[in-house]
A = this chain, B = another copy of it.
Amino acid sequence: MTRSAAELDHRRSVNVALLGCGVVGSQVVRLLTEQADELAARIGAPLTLVGVAVRRPQRHPDVPADLLTTDAAGLVTRDDVDVVVELVGGIEPVRGLLLTALKNGKSVVSANKALLAEDGAALAAAADESGADLYYEASVAGAIPLLRPIQQSLAGDRIVRVAGIVNGTTNFILSAMASSGANYTEALEEAGRLGYAEADPTADVDGYDAASKAAILASLAFHTRVTADDVHREGIRDVSAADIAAAKALGCTVKLLAICEQTDGQVSARVHPAMIPRSHPLASVSGAYNAVFIEAAAAGQLMFYGQGAGGPQTASAVLGDLVAAARNRVIGGRGPRDSAHADLPVIAMGETRTRYHVALDVTDRAGVLAQVAGVFAEHGVSIATVRQEGRNGSSGEGDVDDGAPGPKDATLVIVTHSAPDAALAATVDALTGLDSVRGVAGVLRVEGLGRPVTELGGGS
């Protein structure tokens, strides 16, 4: 083939370099092959896979041997590469590779939530400078089209809250605890047996994965820069079977939520387990499914639901981005991005307004409720509902019988109105110092997420 014919070929196809060929990568290769004709029709030019960088030069069933290379750095700077698809994960060496690719004018499609959450701004700046595209739909909520709707469809609206179930492992565990009454350890073991939890589940159960996604969502939704370090993070290790039962008694269910809010020009982003009303659309999202609830000033309440992980599912999102980047190559355009970012202050968790559910083991004698209520009042926290339960778990009806005669044991279940998180935490600390309080049986945040929570609190 003469050089000019090769150039013509190159101009006529969009050439793709793939970094990483694991569960998702091999699905991307499969779909590129199986759907070659359809993709070419949608793009206006064929997509050609010109190289696949892998760590070890072993044979790969789905990839022709001559495409495999261990030289990722060489691949991302090759002249004939138009788009780099990155499915390696982690911060280094991927950050350097992608910055190099973008600086060389290659568009980048990535599923790397950790990198985007830590250093998305540097990648976006590099893309802006060279005029290349940077897409990362697959980094949050797998197959669910979410970042494109936030970035483009809602570009004319003001998003005020994004709240989602964005980690399938923890949702599987919490769903299993709710349906079977299992405790956390049992449910985690089941998740591991069924392939929903990794051997080291830390990234999932301690909320690191969800925190990265929260940072990406907050950055896009509020047109500002939020990194994973800005996200308050609590995992699900401490969620007990008693917490799940307490939620059920309140008409709620427990979910690990990533919540991003914008109030008065300030943003907050947090990941923690919370009780949500069973009537909320997010409450019925169970097992390994993901869903994200968005509230915008004009659009109102929206929800996006689907599978948040899995090889083919994530590959679907990657290919959507790849088609977009390739179309832009063909028509000489560029993907939309914000021309300017606000630098909105990220408020600390202590200043974020939340609601608490607190279960207290107390001595059941006259004056206890007055004492407990006094501690809440001292900290400026308003109580929404109080319910008394017998020590054996039977539930009392109506308000606490504060005039009961003997010093028996009882449980006080209190749900607060919203207050700064620091005030709520300080209240719980102070309660443990009361001699009538034998212990705090459970503390969980309560989130209405734009829905009334009138059913909370049982009898009151």
Contacts and interface: CB of A to CB of B under 8 A. Distances in A.
Interface stretch (A251-259, A327-335, A449-457): A327-335
B320 A152 contact: yes
Contact of A155 (B156, B300, B324, B333): B324
Copies of this protein in the complex: 2
A410 interface: no
A320 B157 contact: yes
Contacts of A318: 156
A296 B327 CA distance: 21
A316 interface: yes
B145 A154 contact: yes
Contact of A153 (B148, B223, B336): B148
Interface string A296-322: 111111111111001011011111111
B155 A44 contact: no
Contact of A156 (B299, B316, B331, B338): B316
Interface in A331-351: 331-334, 336, 338-340, 342
Given A44-B339, A305-B305, A143 B320 contact: no
A300 B307 contact: yes
Contacts of A223: 38, 41-42
A209 interface: no
B307 A301 contact: yes
A416 interface: no
Nearest to A339: B44
Contact of A298 (B38, B143, B284, B338): B143
Nearest to A32: B156
Q: How large is the interface on A (under 10, 10 to 19, 20 to 34, 35 or more residues)?
A: 35 or more
Interface string A35-71: 1001101111000000000000000000000000000
A298 B312 contact: yes
Given A152-B320, A223-B42, A319-B155, A298 B313 contact: yes
Nearest to A342: B41
A149 interface: yes
A245 interface: no
Contacts of A158: 35, 38
Contacts of A316: 154, 156-157, 296, 298-299
From A153, A284, A313, name the one whose CB has the most chain B CB atoms within 10 angstroms. A153
Contact of A144 (B157, B281, B302, B310): B302
B39 A156 contact: yes
A373 interface: no
B320 A328 contact: no
A137 interface: yes
A51 B145 CA distance: 35
Interface in A151-173: 152-158
Interface string A15-47: 000000000000100010001001101111000
A323 interface: yes
Contact of A300 (B44, B284, B313, B321): B313
Contacts of A312: 297-300
21 contacts: A27-B298, A31-B298, A35-B158, A39-B156, A41-B340, A44-B339, A143-B298, A143-B299, A145-B152, A153-B320, A154-B320, A155-B324, A156-B318, A157-B316, A281-B305, A296-B316, A298-B313, A299-B306, A300-B312, A303-B303, A328-B336
Sorted nearest first, the 6 A-B pairs with minimum C-beta distance are A156-B319, A333-B333, A145-B153, A44-B339, A145-B149, A143-B299
